[in-house]
């Protein structure tokens, strides 16, 4: 992990200048240092030549054929009209930007975009906040309780997505689901036969529960791993200076774990934004298209309505949005590499 002490410099001066400075000069803990790769120059140049290219060739070629080609083809397709007829004749019709203008003019498209964005933000916020809090809790527990909680996290993490979608559908089944029973038992009325999949909104609420449940283990366990790399002196120093828990978090923990927070957040944004199986298998984008997010919308436009060109345009726009998000991520990583 790249979360070792590099952040200490910028952080703690207000709290404990001496100690913080001392901390930052100590070498990073052995477990965290995987970045030692500057071999002596002489040997490298002699060994240069073709060998590295032969070694990377299989990876590069397979990514070019199986990933880059579909991406390019996707862009080309988005400028064509390929419907049921063209699919059979295999003669696409070039339509320029028609697919795009149709989408951009379509209020339904914007509804889906907005829904996707809100859905992603809500999920990522919940995942990051709950996951980090559980990570902090893990760090403060005794050995036994920590084992219990990590095992539970591991179980939730290891559940295959498709299996967990079916389980959540069962938990929230209209007639026999345990969720309705719990709510009834707690005295809430109206859950006699409450149909959780009746509206797009409540369908997405269930999807959110599922995604948050399945994603917090990653964040929590990482957070815990990151916390263990922060030396206890920093906490002690903060304590001596009279910082409370909240203050300690913002002055000691957060700056130290900034790379962790940044990278995990972006990974989660991308994962949630692209989530397909969870949304599609839950209610197939229904009822009445009301739980469609961008990937599901593209899939249904293509496979359901046989409008492949239009579907390609949707996915190109989705990818453009992803790249916009990713550019932050890459800038961050590049900056981090330079700092090291």
Partner 1 sequence: MRAGAIAKNGGALLIALVLIFPVYWMFASSLKPQSEILTKDPVFLFTPTFDNYTKATGVDLFWTYVTNSLIVTIGAVLISLVVALAAAFAIARMKFRGRKGLVLGIMMAQMAPWEVMVIVVYMIARDGDYLNSLGTLTAIYFVMVLPFTIWTLRGFIAAVPVELEEAALIDGCNRGQAFMKVIFPLLAPGLMSTSLFGFITAWNEFAMVLILNKEKESQTLPLWLTQFQTAFGSDWGATMAASTLFALPVLLVFAFLQRRAVGGLTAGAVKG
- Identify residues 78-137 at the interface with partner 1 (CB under 8 A): 82, 90, 134, 137
Q: Which is nearer to partner 1, 22 or 328 (CB)?
A: 328
User: With binding defined as CB under 8 A, does residue 62 bind partner 1?
Assistant: yes
Position among 106, 305, 330, 335 found at the interface with partner 1 (CB under 8 A)? 330
Residue 298 token pair: 């593209």
User: With binding defined as CB under 8 A, does residue 159 bind partner 1?
Assistant: yes
User: With binding defined as CB under 8 A, does residue 205 bind partner 1?
Assistant: no
| Start-to-end C-alpha separation, the chain | 13
What per-residue string of b and e applies to 230-241 under the rule 16 or more CB within 10 Å gives b? bbeebeebbeee
> 118 and 207 in contact (C-beta within 8 Å)?
no
Supply the minimum distance, in Å, between the C-beta of residue 182 and partner 1: 9
List binders of partner 1 among 302-321 (CB under 8 A): 302-303, 308, 311-312, 315, 318-319
Supply the minimum distance, in Å, between the C-beta of residue 13 and partner 1: 26
Angle between helices 107-140 and 258-274 (to 10 degrees): 140
Position among 225, 247, 254, 286 found at the interface with partner 1 (CB under 8 A)? 225
Structural element, H or E, at residue 305: none
Scanning the structure block, which residue is given the tokens 């709510």? 183
Q: Which is nearer to partner 1, 129 or 178 (CB)?
A: 178
Q: Stretches 12-20, 94-102, 153-161, 244-252: which one binds partner 1 (CB under 8 A)?
A: 153-161
Structural element, H or E, at residue 306: none
The contacts of residue 13 (CB under 8 Å, 6+ apart) are 20, 21
Tell me how far apart the alpha carbons of residues 294 and 179 are, in angstroms, rounded to a whole number.
28
Closest CA relative to residue 32, chosen from 250, 261, 228, 221: 228
Q: Which is nearer to partner 1, 39 or 96 (CB)?
A: 39
Closest CA relative to residue 20, chosen from 240, 242, 238, 269: 238
User: With binding defined as CB under 8 A, does residue 163 bind partner 1?
Assistant: yes
Q: Which is nearer to partner 1, 14 or 331 (CB)?
A: 331
Q: Which is nearer to partner 1, 171 or 205 (CB)?
A: 171
Q: Stretches 99-107, 108-116, 215-223, 244-252: which one binds partner 1 (CB under 8 A)?
A: 215-223
Cα 95 from chain centroid (whole Å): 35
User: With binding defined as CB under 8 A, does residue 290 bind partner 1?
Assistant: no
Supply the minimum distance, in Å, between the C-beta of residue 319 and partner 1: 5
Q: Which is nearer to partner 1, 122 or 281 (CB)?
A: 281
Q: Using the 8-state DSSP alphabet, how is residue 7 labeled? A: G
Q: Stretches 100-108, 109-117, 143-151, 238-246: which one binds partner 1 (CB under 8 A)?
A: 143-151
Position among 24, 83, 157, 241 found at the interface with partner 1 (CB under 8 A)? 157
Cis omega (within 30 of 0) on the bond before 266?
A: no
Position among 111, 122, 276, 286 found at the interface with partner 1 (CB under 8 A)? 276
Q: Which is nearer to partner 1, 196 or 308 (CB)?
A: 308
Q: Which residues pair with 94 in a beta bridge?
A: 80
List binders of partner 1 among 253-272 (CB under 8 A): 259-260, 263-264, 267, 270
Closest CA relative to residue 181, chosen from 170, 196, 197, 192: 192
Q: Stretches 4-12, 105-113, 243-251, 326-334: which one binds partner 1 (CB under 8 A)?
A: 326-334
Which three-class secondary structure state does DSSP give residue 107?
helix
């Amino acid at each position: 992990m790249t979360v070792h002490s590099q952040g200490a410099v910028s952080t703690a001066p207000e709290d404990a200048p001496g100690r913080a400075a001392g901390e930052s000069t100590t070498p990073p803990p052995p477990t965290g240092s995987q970045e030692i790769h500057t071999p002596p120059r002489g040997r490298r140049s002699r060994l240069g030549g073709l060998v590295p290219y032969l070694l990377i060739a299989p990876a590069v070629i397979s990514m070019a054929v199986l990933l880059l080609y579909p991406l390019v083809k996707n862009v080309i397709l988005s400028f064509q009209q390929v419907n049921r007829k063209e699919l059979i004749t295999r003669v696409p019709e070039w339509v320029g930007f028609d697919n795009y203008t149709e989408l951009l003019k379509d209020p339904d498209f914007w509804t889906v975009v907005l829904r996707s964005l809100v859905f992603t933000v809500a999920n990522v916020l919940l995942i990051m906040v709950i996951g980090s809090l559980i990570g902090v809790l893990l760090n403060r527990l005794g050995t036994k309780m920590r084992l219990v909680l990590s095992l539970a996290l591991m179980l939730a993490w290891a559940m295959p997505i498709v299996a967990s979608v079916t389980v959540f559908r069962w938990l929230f089944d209209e007639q026999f689901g345990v969720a309705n029973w719990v709510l009834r038992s707690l005295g809430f009325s109206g859950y006699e036969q409450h149909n959780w999949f009746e509206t797009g909104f409540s369908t997405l609420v269930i999807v959110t529960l599922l995604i948050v449940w399945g994603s917090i283990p990653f964040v929590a366990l990482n957070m815990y791993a990151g916390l263990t790399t922060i030396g206890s002196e920093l906490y002690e120093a903060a304590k001596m200076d009279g910082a409370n828990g909240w203050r300690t978090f913002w002055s000691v923990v957060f700056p130290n774990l900034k790379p962790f927070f940044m990278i995990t957040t972006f990974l989660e944004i991308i994962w949630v934004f692209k989530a397909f199986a969870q949304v599609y298998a839950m209610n197939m984008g229904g009822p009445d298209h009301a739980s469609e997010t961008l990937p599901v919308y593209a899939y249904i436009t293509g496979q359901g309505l046989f409008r492949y060109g239009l579907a390609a345009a949707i996915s190109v726009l989705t990818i453009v949005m992803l790249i916009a998000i990713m550019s932050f991520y890459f800038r961050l990583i590049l900056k981090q590499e330079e700092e090291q």
